[in-house]
């Protein structure tokens, strides 16, 4: 049994065929097309990957349980697109469509760094902050499927303006783009290289950034009590210097740190494939194998 997963990103659609353990058997990538051409592209990617009886798709934005994309901020004009219903009808197979960050979190839980955990929090630091929460062995979706929007947890009342229209969201302070703001326009790589070379200003930026990450992780820990936190995204993937700073700040920010077991703080394993692998594994949960 294998399944196919496609992660629809702002610029690229990344498709994989995986076995039940999440091992990648085939892979394709295409530029994300205009909205009107999205469903045909997904159908042809599915066929190019060899077809099967199950297709999972991760799309940014608000997705209904039937797989209708209600709104997707990164895709101009993407409102009420019946991705799931159309593909189910055209291909005659099981199709599951869900939020991309949720799918990436599911991938890390099933086949990545949080494998086997009963309680885990997955955090992706990119342009914004995405994530997912597993509690008591279940991915949390909430009443409407919108649980796990951890980037919009407010950490500063009346703080920096967020794309969601509110102020002070965690992602304005701890995402990859927030790091760029903190450093006055330098990229993460530039800041980390300068910090590694001992530049005092860069070290200060890294420390401040790590503290912002830690503030959110401490709140998530207070609420969810996870045994493991997985940090992913371009910022932490390759750079140990941030993880060391985050670990230190995290302990400082944690409630009753000396009286509790601390969650493991680890980096993600699946990288940019997490969303596609998670989508492929998620659809398998919905079909009889
Ligand atoms: Zn927000």
CATH of the domain at 167: 3.30.420.40
Is residue 262 one of the residues assigned to a domain? yes
Total domains present in the chain: 2
261 burial class (0-12, 13-18, 19+ CB within 10 angstroms)?
Answer: exposed
Q: Of 31-35, 89-93, 150-154, 163-167, where does mean pLDDT reach its minimum?
A: 163-167
Q: pLDDT tens digits for 106-130?
A: 999 999 999 999 999 999 888 889 8
How many CB atoms are closer than 10 A to CB 271?
15
282 token code pair: 């998620």
pLDDT at residue 192 in the model: 87
Residues 262 and 209 in one domain: yes
pLDDT at residue 229 in the model: 96
Owner of token pair 């000396």 = 258
Report CA(157)–ligand 1 centroid distance (Å).
12
Is residue 59 one of the residues assigned to a domain? yes
pLDDT at residue 237 in the model: 60
In this prediction the pTM is 0.90
Is residue 176 one of the residues assigned to a domain? yes
**Full residue range of the structural domain in which residue 220 is found:** 117-268
Residues 44 and 142 in one domain: no
Question: Is pLDDT above 80 for 209?
Answer: yes
Q: pLDDT tens digits for 88-99?
A: 999 999 999 999
- Ion ligand 1 — residues with CB under 5 Å? 152, 162, 164, 169
Residues 68 and 141 in one domain: no
Report CA(65)–ligand 1 centroid distance (Å).
23
Nearest to residue 96, comparing CAs of 138, 68, 77? 68
Report CA(165)–ligand 1 centroid distance (Å).
7
How many CB atoms are closer than 10 A to CB 253?
19
Residues 93 and 129 in one domain: no
Residues 233 and 278 in one domain: no
Residues 128 and 209 in one domain: yes
Strand runs labelled E in the chain: 2-8, 12-19, 24-31, 54-59, 62-63, 69-71, 79-81, 94-99, 120-125, 129-135, 138-139, 228-232, 264-267
Residues 87 and 56 in one domain: yes
Report CA(40)–ligand 1 centroid distance (Å).
32
């Amino acid at each position: 049994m294998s399944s196919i997963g496609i992660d629809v990103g702002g610029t690229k659609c990344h498709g994989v065929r995986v076995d039940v353990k999440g091992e990648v058997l085939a892979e394709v990538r295409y530029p994300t097309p205009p909205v009107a051409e999205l469903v045909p592209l997904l159908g042809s990617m599915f066929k190019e990957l060899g077809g099967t009886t199950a297709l999972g798709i991760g799309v940014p934005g608000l997705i209904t349980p039937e797989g209708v994309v209600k709104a997707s901020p990164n895709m101009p004009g993407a409102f009420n697109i019946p991705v799931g219903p159309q593909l189910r009808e055209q291909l005659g197979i099981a199709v599951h469509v869900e939020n991309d960050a949720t799918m990436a979190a599911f991938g890390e839980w099933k086949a990545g760094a949080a494998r086997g955990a009963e309680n885990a929090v997955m955090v992706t630091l990119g342009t914004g902050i995405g994530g997912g929460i597993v509690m008591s062995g279940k991915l949390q979706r909430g009443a409407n499927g919108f649980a796990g929007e951890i980037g919009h947890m407010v950490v500063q009342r009346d703080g920096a303006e967020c794309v969601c229209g509110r102020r002070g969201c965690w992602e304005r302070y701890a995402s990859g783009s927030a790091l760029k703001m903190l450093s006055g326009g330098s990229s993460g790589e530039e800041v980390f290289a300068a910090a590694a070379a001992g530049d005092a200003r860069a070290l200060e930026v890294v420390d401040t950034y790590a503290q912002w990450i830690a503030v959110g992780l401490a709140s998530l820990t207070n609420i969810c009590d996870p045994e493991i936190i997985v940090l992913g995204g371009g910022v932490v993937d390759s750079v140990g210097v941030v993880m060391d700073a985050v670990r230190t700040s995290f302990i400082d920010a944690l409630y009753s740190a000396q009286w509790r077991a601390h969650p493991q703080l680890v980096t993600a394993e699946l990288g940019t494939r997490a969303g596609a692998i998670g989508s492929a594994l998620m659809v398998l949960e919905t079909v009889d194998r």
